[in-house]
Amino acid sequence: MSDPTWPEPNLELLNNALKQTGWAGPVLDQASWKPVIRERVASINWEAAERDVAPFLEPGSATALFGKESLLGLLER
């Protein structure tokens, strides 16, 4: 999301995945996906999430970009 040349999320794929996991919320569309993701990002235990993903991130700037504030900022665009 930090690169404006990247395409928007594949909402059909996202909705199908949500359905498979028992999602009880509405079908997501262009107008609704960001608020739903923003709400979920705000509710994450970020200390645990950072420990979980740290082995998969390159050292340096990649780890600085991963965090609640960074993701919420990207969702504001």
Give the global pTM. 0.73
Of 4, 7, 11, nearest to 36 (Cα)?
Answer: 11
Predicted confidence band of residue 64 (pLDDT cuts 50, 70, 90): low
Contact 1, 8 (CB under 8 A): no
Q: Is the pLDDT of residue 62 over 70?
A: no
Domain boundaries, the chain: 46-77
Q: What is the mean pLDDT of residues 47-64?
A: 79
Long-range contacts (CB closer than 8 Å, 24 or more residues apart) made by 28-35: 33/9, 34/75
Residue 25: the pLDDT is 93
Band the pLDDT of 3: cuts 50, 70, 90.
confident
43 has a pLDDT exceeding 90: yes
